């Protein structure tokens, strides 16, 4: 199948960009039937934003599990105190 360069318009910034024959072949190979909707600049921006969002979420997850661990440590300590046993110092990580 032959591909020719096509001019497309970015739905974000309205800039015209070339959907090259090579890119079309790439899309075709992967059975992607939709044309790209963003220029290279916007695609790069979107990708960066997505990456940042994922990194941010991951950071939140780490923070949550850290807080959870602290709460568990505290509860364990309180349980031990309630039982009246000797209080062991919290183990350090
Ligand atoms: Zn754009």
Tell me the per-residue pLDDT of 74-91, one tens digit each, with 9 for 90 and over. Answer: 999 999 998 876 656 677
Cα 3 to ligand 1 centre (Å): 23
According to DSSP, residue 10 is labeled -
Q: Six-digit token pair at 60?
A: 């939140």
Q: How many residues does the chain have?
A: 93
Taking the complete model, does pTM exceed 0.75, yes or no? no
Cα 34 to ligand 1 centre (Å): 17
> Tens digits of per-residue pLDDT, 21-79?
999 999 999 999 999 999 999 999 999 999 999 999 988 888 889 888 999 999 999 99
**Nearest Cα residue to 45 out of 75, 13, 73:** 13
Instruction: Report yes or no: 24 and 3 within 8 Å, Cβ to Cβ.
Output: yes
Domain locations along the chain:
6-82
Cα end-to-end span (Å), the chain: 60
């Amino acid at each position: 199948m032959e591909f020719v360069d096509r001019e497309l318009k970015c739905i974000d910034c309205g800039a015209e960009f070339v959907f090259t024959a090579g890119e079309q072949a790439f899309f075709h190979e992967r059975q992607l039937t939709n044309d790209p909707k963003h220029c290279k600049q916007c695609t790069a921006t979107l990708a960066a934003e997505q990456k940042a969002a994922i990194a941010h979420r991951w950071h939140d997850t780490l923070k949550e599990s850290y807080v959870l661990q602290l709460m568990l440590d505290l509860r364990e300590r309180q349980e031990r105190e309630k039982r009246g046993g000797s209080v062991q110092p919290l183990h350090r990580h």
